[in-house]
Chain A
Amino acid sequence: MTTATPVMPLSPGRAAEETDVTADAGQEVARSASDVGRDAAFERDALPWLDDVYRFALSLTREESDADDVVQETFLRAYRSWHTFIPGTDCRRWLFTICRNVFLRSRERQRPTVDLEDGEQDAVAAGSVYAAAREKGYDDIYARLDLAPALRDALDDLAEPFRSAVILVDVEDLSYESAADVMGVPIGTVRSRLFRGRRLLQEKLVTVAEDLGFQGAGTP
């Protein structure tokens, strides 16, 4: 895997320039001060989140080529609609929201509406998964196995909308509130989907450990 390349912001003084001249295939294009200011803000606030948006898009599409299209459209829309972004607010959340909308529109379908029971049932069910794993001596699999490949596969298999909830909260570290905003659902729904997603992932990982012939800690 490649390592993220941080995108360096422009120097603070650039936005104050009156005009900017951009060389483009030998043709100089004069740009207004507002254009320069917008571009500086876009570079500073939006571009650093490219990797994050890519991960989220990939979690939605599951296909790299589709994720590429969604990411490109997300940033183009963000650039064209930059005047609607409120400076000082969470740009990553704004981009995730655009990304999700682009994805849903590309699939020509409505936002999935999944009514789930209280998340506590999944929390308790996860306890059962743990108990079963413990019986097999797998209760330390997360510490003993390099789970990244298995986790990625399990995430790929995880159905929407659970996958989005897990990616946004557990991988991208969004709060429940931010994830709810991105997904367009109440906070309680994020919690339910997150807990279901975690429980399903943990079930899958125990199965993976079994398939790999993972020896439990207490197994001779």
Chain B
Amino acid sequence: MMSAPARSRLEALGLSASCVEVLTHLWDYLDEQVTPTSAARLEAHIASCAQCRQYEDYQECFLRAMAGLKQELTAPASLRERLADRLKGQGCGCWDKVRPRP
């Protein structure tokens, strides 16, 4: 939990207690790690606060960019060839399924 002094410092910057809660738990919320009650409270505030909505958009864009990396990197053909050979050496009957397709 965030210490009371730390929370007070954030609130002193002009952030409401609800904004501080979003700042602190937005990633938990986007990762679906908060309780339904907490999620509903965060959603209600985000819907009514332009600043927090922008921050949510920013973090969502970041997470989408991260997820997009999955399409960028695949096992190279040379690795597939070597693994196929080694599985074949182990007697694996499906070794040829590892090989890159032409």
Q: Across the A-B interface, how many residue pairs have beta carbons closer than 8 Å?
A: 152
Whether B74 pairs with A54 at a CB distance below 8 angstroms is yes
Q: Is B45 an interface residue (CB 8 A)?
A: no
Whether B1 pairs with A118 at a CB distance below 8 angstroms is yes
Interface of A is mostly: helix
Whether B23 pairs with A124 at a CB distance below 8 angstroms is yes
Query: Contacts of A28 on B, CB cut-off 8 Å?
Result: none
Residue-wise interface mask of B (45-65) relative to A, using a CB-CB cutoff of 8 A (1 in contact, 0 not): 000000000110011011111
Query: For the complex, what is the distance from the CA of A126 to the CA of B6, rounded to whole Å?
Result: 15
Query: Contacts of A140 on B, CB cut-off 8 Å?
Result: 58, 61
Given contacts A71-B79, A75-B87, A120-B24, contact A10 B94 (CB under 8 A): yes
Whether B33 pairs with A72 at a CB distance below 8 angstroms is no
Interface of B is mostly: helix
Query: For the complex, what is the distance from the CA of A176 to the CA of B86, rounded to whole Å?
Result: 33
CB A125 to nearest CB in B, in angstroms, measures 10
13 A-B pairs with C-beta separation under 8 A? A3-B74, A47-B97, A51-B74, A51-B75, A68-B82, A80-B90, A118-B1, A123-B24, A124-B24, A130-B59, A139-B58, A169-B31, A194-B27
Q: How many residues of B contact A (CB 8 A)?
A: 50
Select B75's contact among A54, A169, A195, beta carbons within 8 Å: A54
Q: Is A166 an interface residue (CB 8 A)?
A: yes
Q: How many residues of A contact B (CB 8 A)?
A: 68
Residue of chain B at shortest CB distance from A125:
B23
Whether B66 pairs with A166 at a CB distance below 8 angstroms is yes
